[in-house]
Amino acid sequence: MVLIRIDNRLIHGQVIESWLPYTGAKTIVVANDELSGDIMQQQIMSLAIPGNIECHFVQLEELGSQLDTMKASEVLVLVSNCADARRAYDSGWSYDDLNIGNVHYSPGKKQISPSVALSPEEENCLRYLFRKGVSLDFRCVPNDPVQVRFPS
């Protein structure tokens, strides 16, 4: 796998214009239970994807088995929140690096970088993954410097 990214927007311009060229990924896997069953939203999101890039919309429990069938070095995995990243990890699909690209602000959240605001639950989720050895990379686009590192 090239990259797993938390971005509540899932597929959008930054992913297509910045992360795909940066990673060289040939396949996008969107792991999201709600979206995996919404054909209309899938079609709308797919409009932004270049024709030479494959895209799969899967439920979180299917993520590991789907990735087993793909060339791991060419896959960009998108999840919409930390809870989904943790569910994927806890289901047996482990990863070493996690990009936290965009988590919208809402009341009760703390802004920790220009594009990431975390609730206490989200902070605890990321600390859990960090303690498991996952490197946390807080960048909106590839040329941004890493914004935040959690203490162990």
Mean pLDDT of the 125-131 span:
95
pTM value surpassing 0.75: yes
- Determine the angle formed by the axes of helices 82-90 and 120-131, rounding to 10 degrees: 30
Looking at CATH, the fold of the domain delimited by 3-137 is given as Fructose Permease (3.40.35)
pLDDT at 116 (0 to 100): 92
- pLDDT digits over 69-94, tens only? 887 679 999 999 999 999 999 988 88
Residues 6+ apart with CB under 8 A from 29: 55, 56, 58, 63, 66, 67, 70, 75, 76, 77, 78
**How do strand 135-137 and strand 97-102 relate by DSSP bridges?**
parallel
What is the residue extent of each domain of the chain?
Answer: 3-137
pLDDT at 93 (0 to 100): 85
Amino acid at 124: N
